[in-house]
């Protein structure tokens, strides 16, 4: 054992946690050792470089073949692609450019354009060399951060006129270690400021930051060969499209469990986002969806079990975060998250969620009725909310005549609403992320005669057309379909078909744009999820990338630059194929301008819409902020302004509802916690977007009566009077 090694061992045996001196010695030893040298002492923390396995090399070759010959996108493995893989891999490993220097990046510049040929033949070592260097730099940076914290937060200067860039994804690489030191001191100051402004004292902040960085440091030391391989393969597969990805054997197991919907957890779909775990979407009817605070694009910082201390999960593998969140039914897991609306990654909130199974009945379609008055005329509008496209396959296969499915449930709800004498129908597909394709096909069939519903083009350019073969129509009256940015996949197929057939109006915001179909294929080592086909509307346009554009638009709080297919790197583009013959039931061209005009006039006078626009403007202003001050007084003033705006907006909403305003932010926070904890709460009044859908419905009916009175063809006549099919 060398003298340096003995000193490290002695340090570790004498103290529970590294002192600054111990960390400095271990770093010096780490970067003086060849990559292949392993530590000889039991307790010393020295990074063990990971190496590829034969199984991984074979899987790499299979992945390369599948991508080239079976993926929907025809993309060869070229020198240009090699450079893109290199950049994507560095973005995955150091997306905020806080670990590597320009010299580090230049070290691998000679292999930048040669990764493709290596990936074709299973030569993984270049990717593993990059991974090992990044892990070493991660350890170095985290040890530096702990040294700064050990020196005391009182040594940090919060009176200078400094600021920190919030998003460094497009920043230049740091010139050297000294530049990274300066950057990390700013990062630590930013974290300290955020916690001080949230009321934490310096002792608590010190403990929190030590726990955070030590947790990340522990994960870095525990890096596995599979971590490097999965990261490298996903940088590679992501060149074809963002939904094509490699699943390690462990990740494959979690994927298969999630697909069964029997998982006891919180009902959230997660993915890796640089060093964070990000919420992609919430499962309708699941605990997180019902609790109401967790939102898509939130990033998870820590996880706590019941009353235990939180475990920081920044830098953790996705499968390990999933394991930590998963747990027995009725137990409580608390997530500390960076909200999607946060301007700064140090702004967090804690969300307590009671674990449970995602039950099919909690995803079921439901109905409501709203009564509206327009210019002295009363209208009864039915509302059907569809959280997801579901079907109880097991009950169906068992021959249960009463098995649940979206189409069967909606047909029954329509019958009940018609018995109540509704004048029109609103279908709410907001936040519906899709589900069973055949259910979308069958649901369209409730509103049309026989006809095509969607086209599916495969990688060999063959086109399959799905049809509604049932000539019966469950509802032939006026129809409005509500969508938002989280309406995806099967939701887009339904909304697009209703729009193409002229069967109803689509109202809301542009949908997600998920118009691709994936298949999971087994490998010798893990699985490959690969895009193999693409959806097209009956009019020929794809739902991919562009989604469905509403006939009447309603703004949304959702940040379209962060959520949606067109916000994803390498997403397949929008295109179109030939239309298939389909009927146009109604022609809205004669009334759509008047409908939009009335809608805009109504919203101009609506306090709810005014408040929504105020929220959107506030969120956009926060999102556009690219840096924050590190001066305590300036930061405190900015923080108070943001918090006061939150309180003002919340009280404006309470005033609209005739409720007492909150006197303080603490009152607001306590009320939000109580609301989130009450899983049985029900809205006394449907939200104003649904009511606006009803008003648009009333406008349609009024305009229809007007056209009938001047002997114009009525827009909502019987289906027998439908126009000839379009070609």
Q: Cα–Cα distance between 276 and 286 in angstroms, integer?
A: 22
CB 425 within 8 A of CB 478: yes
- Judged on CB neighbours under 10 Å (0-12, 13-18, 19+), 463 is middle
Which residue in 45, 514, 534, 546 is the catalytic one?
A: 514
Give the distance from CA 723 to its chain's centroid. 41
- 610 part of the active site: no
What is the SS3 string spanning 405-474?
A: EHHHHHHHHHHHHHHCCCCEEEEECCCCCCECHHHHHHHHHCCCCCEEEEEEEECCCCEEEEEECCCCCC
Residue count (the chain): 727
Q: Which residues of 240-268 are buried (b: 16+ CB within 10 A; e: fewer)?
A: bbbbbbbbbebbbebbeebeeeebbbbbb
- Judged on CB neighbours under 10 Å (0-12, 13-18, 19+), 492 is buried
CB 414 within 8 A of CB 383: no
Which residue in 423, 500, 559, 699 is the catalytic one?
A: 500
Strand pairing report for 299-305 and 276-282: antiparallel
Residue (of 341, 383, 350) closest to 697 by Cα position: 383
Q: How far apart are the first and last CA of the chain?
A: 82
Which one-letter DSSP state was computed for residue 547? -
CB 459 within 8 A of CB 72: yes
Handedness of CA 683, 349, 649, 555 (dihedral sign): negative
Residue 350: phi and psi, rounded to 5, are -105, 135
Q: Which residues of 497-521 are buried (b: 16+ CB within 10 A; e: fewer)?
A: bbbbbbbbbbbbbbbbbbbbbbeee
CB 576 within 8 A of CB 532: no
Which residue in 489, 509, 539, 542 is the catalytic one?
A: 489
Residue 676: phi and psi, rounded to 5, are -70, -35
Q: Cα–Cα distance between 108 and 122 in angstroms, integer?
A: 19
CB 379 within 8 A of CB 373: yes
Q: Cα–Cα distance between 373 and 379 in angstroms, integer?
A: 6
Q: Cα–Cα distance between 685 and 653 in angstroms, integer?
A: 13
- 412 part of the active site: no
- Residue in this structure with the two tokens 């009950």, named with its chain if needed: 395
The two tokens of residue 682 are: 């029900």
The two tokens of residue 77 are: 């493995």
CB 655 within 8 A of CB 185: no
- 78 part of the active site: no
* Cβ-based neighbour number of residue 353 at 10 Å: 27
Q: Classify the phi-psi angles of 545: left when phi > 0, otherwise alpha if psi is within -120 to 50, otherwise beta.
A: left
Q: Cα–Cα distance between 248 and 255 in angstroms, integer?
A: 10
Which residues are annotated as catalytic?
489, 500, 514
């Amino acid at each position: 054992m060398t003298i340096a090694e003995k000193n490290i061992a002695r340090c570790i045996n004498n103290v529970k946690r590294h002192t600054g001196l111990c960390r400095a010695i271990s770093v010096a030893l780490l970067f003086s050792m060849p990559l292949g040298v392993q530590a000889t002492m039991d307790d010393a923390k020295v990074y063990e470089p990971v190496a590829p396995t034969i199984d991984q090399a074979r899987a790499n070759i299979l992945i390369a073949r599948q991508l080239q010959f079976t993926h929907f996108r025809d993309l060869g493995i070229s020198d240009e692609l090699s450079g893109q893989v290199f950049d994507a891999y560095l973005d995955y490993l150091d997306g905020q450019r806080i670990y590597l220097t320009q010299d580090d990046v230049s070290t691998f510049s000679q292999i930048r354009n040669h990764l493709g040929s290596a990936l074709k033949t299973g030569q993984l070592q270049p990717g593993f060399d990059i991974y090992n260097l990044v892990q070493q730099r991660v350890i170095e940076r985290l040890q530096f951060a702990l040294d700064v914290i050990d020196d005391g937060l009182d040594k940090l200067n919060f009176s200078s006129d400094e600021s920190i860039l919030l998003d460094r994804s497009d920043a230049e690489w740091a010139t050297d270690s000294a530049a990274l030191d300066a950057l990390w001191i700013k990062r630590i100051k930013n974290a300290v400021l955020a916690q001080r402004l949230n009321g934490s004292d310096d002792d608590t902040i010190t403990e929190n930051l030590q726990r955070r960085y030590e947790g990340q440091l522990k994960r870095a030391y525990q890096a596995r060969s599979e971590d490097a391989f999965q990261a490298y393969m996903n940088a590679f597969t992501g060149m074809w499209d963002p939904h094509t990805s490699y699943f390690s054997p462990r990740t494959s197991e979690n994927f298969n469990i999630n697909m069964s919907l029997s998982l006891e957890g919180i009902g959230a779909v997660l993915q890796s986002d640089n060093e964070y775990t990000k919420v992609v979407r919430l499962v309708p009817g699941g605990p997180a969806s019902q609790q109401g605070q967790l939102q898509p694009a939130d990033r998870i910082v820590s996880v706590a079990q019941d009353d235990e201390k939180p475990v920081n999960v920044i830098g953790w593998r996705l499968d390990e975060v999933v394991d930590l969140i998963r747990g027995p039914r009725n137990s409580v897991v608390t997530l500390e998250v960076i909200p999607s609306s946060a301007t700064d990654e140090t702004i967090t909130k804690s969300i307590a969620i009671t674990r449970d199974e995602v039950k099919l009945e909690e995803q079921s379609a439901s109905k409501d009725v709203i009564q509206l008055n327009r210019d002295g005329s009363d209208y009864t509008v039915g509302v059907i909310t569809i959280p997801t496209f579901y079907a109880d396959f097991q009950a169906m296969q068992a021959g249960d005549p009463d098995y649940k499915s979206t189409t069967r449930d909606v047909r029954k709800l329509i019958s009940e609403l018609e018995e109540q004498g509704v004048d029109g129908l609103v279908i709410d597909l907001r936040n519906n992320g899709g589900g069973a394709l055949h259910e979308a096909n069958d649901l369209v069939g409730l509103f049309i005669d026989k006809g095509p519903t969607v086209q599916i083009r495969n990688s060999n350019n063959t086109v399959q057309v799905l049809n509604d073969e049932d000539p019966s129509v469950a509802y032939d009256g006026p129809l409005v379909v509500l969508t938002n940015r989280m309406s995806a996949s099967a939701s887009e197929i339904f909304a697009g078909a209703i729009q193409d057939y002229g069967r109803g109006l689509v109202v809301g915001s542009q949908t997600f744009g998920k118009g691709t179909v994936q298949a999971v294929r087994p490998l010798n080592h893990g699985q490959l999820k690969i895009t193999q086909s693409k959806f097209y509307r009956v009019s020929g346009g794809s739902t991919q990338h562009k989604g469905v554009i509403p006939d009447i638009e309603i703004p949304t709080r959702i940040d379209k630059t962060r959520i949606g297919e067109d916000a994803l790197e390498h997403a397949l583009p929008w295109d179109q194929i030939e239309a298939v013959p389909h009927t146009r039931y109604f022609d809205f061209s004669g009334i759509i301008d008047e409908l939009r005009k009335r809608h805009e006039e109504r919203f101009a006078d609506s306090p709810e819409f005014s408040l929504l626009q105020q929220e959107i403007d506030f969120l956009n202003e926060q999102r556009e902020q690219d840096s924050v001050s590190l001066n305590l007084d300036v930061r405190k003033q900015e923080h108070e302004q943001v918090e006061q705006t939150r309180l003002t907006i919340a009280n404006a909403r309470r005033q609209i509802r005739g409720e007492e305003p909150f006197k303080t932010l603490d009152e607001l926070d306590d009320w939000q916690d109580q609301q989130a904890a009450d899983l049985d709460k029900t809205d006394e009044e449907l939200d104003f977007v649904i009511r606006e859908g009803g008003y648009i419905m009333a406008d349609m009916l009024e305009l229809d009566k007007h056209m009938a009175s001047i002997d114009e063809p009525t827009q909502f006549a019987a289906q027998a009077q439908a126009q000839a099919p379009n070609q």
